Amino acid sequence: MTEYSTESFSTNQYDLARPTYPLSFIQYVVDWHKKSSPETSLGVTVSVDIGCGTGQVTFPLYEEIQYADNVYGVDPSAVMIQKCQDTQNSKDHSTITKGELCFKQAAAEKLDDVFPLESVDLLTGAECFHWFKHQEFFEVAHKILKPHGTLAYWFYVDPVVISVTKPDGTVVDVDKKVYMEIYDKYTYGEEYFGPYWEQPGRNHLRTFCKDVKIPTDLFKDIETHKYRPVVQGDVPDEKLKIERSWTLQDYKNYQESWSAYHKYVEETKKASPGINSAKDIKNYIPNEFSAEMTQRLGINPVDKMKVIWSTIYFLAKKR
């Protein structure tokens, strides 16, 4: 994903705008791995978080979960790795008695250039798998995982506004059909963000990677689970439930963390020499989205929206 590798990309904005993952889900992944992989409990345990971004999974694995002796965060973007290292240097890890934490720059398909064969117990990837060259990744993951090692990847997509809380505390349900019309228009419409998504990655994400199958000659005991709040509603006990309370400004910040947004701004600036920043763009897409949310759904800037993402996760054991 080239947009996240440019020097102009703000890792701080990305880190603040993006939702994080429930610690309970990360613990579920580790417990699933440990329960079905007793052989990997011997010797030095190694956990690798590929596509680590700003470390939203890597740091919890090291700080709270504390399963592995060595935890690695890996990302192809130098600016992401620098952000992780800066965060690591700013933290006090003196009370953590188990494990080492290290960040490395590498592509998912080149992990065997970084890690020895059959050296990794747990390989995780959050919100990144859709960008990979999938067959190459599966093959290299199989190479570096120990016997019975675990491959776990998951992602979120297409947030749904379930309800709105007004300043007086009144909770109003949102018409999901109207919301999805607005969301799809601005996110995927040809006149809006649609042309700026890198493909086929975004379509893989949008379709829950339905056309990408985990090769059963390399992996077994495959577990997968999909959650779609636009269909299922608010399900309290979902393992991978990502929920936030957002204003329209928070939603705008999230849109401004998208790879498509960064490409949209850069290409608009190139096409219009007088535009030096996003603030100079006429008919700025995030502003138009917010305006239509207010016009059609009655959501005002002071309102708090209950936002829940569609999610899916995949767990598999190395054969």
Domains of the chain with bracketed CATH: 2-157+200-230+310-318 (3.40.50.150), 159-197+233-307 (no CATH)
Residue 20's CB is within 10 A of a number of other CB atoms, namely: 15
Q: Measured between alpha carbons, how far is 101 from 12 in angstroms, rounded to an integer?
A: 21
Per-residue pLDDT at 44: 80
- Predicted TM-score (pTM) of the model is 0.93
Q: Measured between alpha carbons, how far is 304 from 271 in angstroms, rounded to an integer?
A: 36
Label residue 195 exposed, middle or buried (CB < 10 Å: 0-12, 13-18, 19+).
Answer: middle
- Residue 155's φ and ψ, nearest 5 degrees, are -160, 165
Per-residue pLDDT at 42: 54
Per-residue pLDDT at 6: 58
Q: How far lies 84's CA from each of 3, 74, 156, 196, 264, in Å? A: 18, 10, 21, 27, 26
Per-residue pLDDT at 202: 96
Q: Pairing mode, if any, of strands 145-165 and 304-318?
A: antiparallel
Per residue, the 3-state secondary structure of the chain, as one string, reads: CHHHHCCCCCHHHHHHHCCCCCHHHHHHHHHHHHHHCHHHHCCCCEEEEECCCCCCCHHHHHHHHCCCCEEEEEECCHHHHHHHHHHHHHCCCCCCCCCEEEEEECCHHHHHHCCCCCCEEEEEEECCHHHCCHHHHHHHHHHHEEEEEEEEEEEEEEEEEEEEECCCCCEEECCHHHHHHHHHHHHHCCCCCHHHCCCCHHHHHHCCCCCCCCCCCCEEEEEEEEECHHHHCCCCCCCCCCEEEECHHHHHHHHCCCHHHHHHHHHHHHHCCCCCCHHHCCCCHHHHHHHHHHHHHCCCCCCEEEEEEEEEEEEEEEC
Q: Which two tokens stand for residue 295?
A: 């016009």
Cα dihedral 313/210/227/304 (nearest 10):
100
Q: Name beta bridge partners: 73.
A: 49, 103
Predicted confidence pLDDT, tens digits, the chain (319 residues) = 555 555 556 788 888 999 999 999 999 999 999 987 765 455 689 999 999 999 999 999 999 999 999 999 999 999 999 999 999 999 999 988 888 999 999 999 999 999 999 999 999 999 999 999 999 999 999 999 999 999 999 999 999 999 999 999 999 999 999 999 999 999 999 999 999 999 999 999 999 999 999 999 999 999 999 999 989 989 999 999 999 999 999 999 999 999 999 999 999 988 888 887 787 898 999 999 999 999 999 999 999 999 999 999 999 999 9
Cα dihedral 31/37/38/43 (nearest 10):
-100
